Amino acid sequence: MRESDRTVIFDCAVALASVIIEQCDALVELCDYIDERVTIAKRISSYESNADDGFHDLGFYFLENKLMSDPDSVALFDIIRNLEAITDAFEDLANSIVRFNITESGETLSDCATALYGAGQMTHDLIISIRDGAPSTLIIRNLTLLDKFKSKYCKFYDEAILELFTEDVDPVSIIKSKAIYDAFKVVFVAFESLSENCYKFVLLQN
């Protein structure tokens, strides 16, 4: 992989990581101003559209420069694909809040949104550290911290679902709440998939 190719790929990665932060910001705002959920969800979708454009442009770049035969380039492309998948998951989460007409965010949604914000910030920092060649031990330590966001949410998810099906007697409320919990879980799992591919890339470089 040429240095010029590496620059193009990491420019795309950083741009997608920045989109994720924008989506995190908007999701926190959505939870704070739930009455504006439709407008804010549309903004989150517009961010995802920008991510799609960047991802597709990179795909064309790979084809034009025949980079799919280079292991390092392919490993980076997998990371880019994970980043784009996170933006997709954020869009679906925001649309689910609109789709299921969630009119009260409460402490639960706000806490989940805050956790995703932390994961988004860490992801941006990770991409920068990988690009800049930070020590692999530091990167792997931070990847481990990123994984913990998903682990904590899975524990919360199990507890929330148990509580939901134990205490709530309204079937509509159960369906709506579970759909939102599931949408949050998809985003956390997407972060975990990114972490796995970043870990593989770091090992490949050492």
Q: State the pLDDT confidence band at 88, using cuts at 50, 70 and 90.
A: very high
Look at residues 45, 30, 173 and name the one whose alpha carbon lies nearest to residue 100.
173
Collect contacts of 203-206 with beta carbons under 8 A, ≥24 apart. 203/136, 204/71, 204/72, 204/75, 205/72, 205/136, 206/136
Q: State the pLDDT confidence band at 168, using cuts at 50, 70 and 90.
A: low
CA distance 26 to 114: 11
What 3-state DSSP class applies to 86? helix
Number of domains in the chain: 1
CA distance 108 to 86: 21
CA distance 40 to 102: 13
What are 106-138's pLDDT values in tens digits?
A: 788 888 999 999 999 999 999 999 999 999 999
Residue 152 lies in domain:
3-204
* Surface-to-core class of residue 104, CB atoms within 10 Å of its CB (0-12 exposed, 13-18 middle, 19+ buried): exposed
Whichever domain contains 35, its CATH number is 1.20.58.220
End-to-end CA distance of the chain: 16
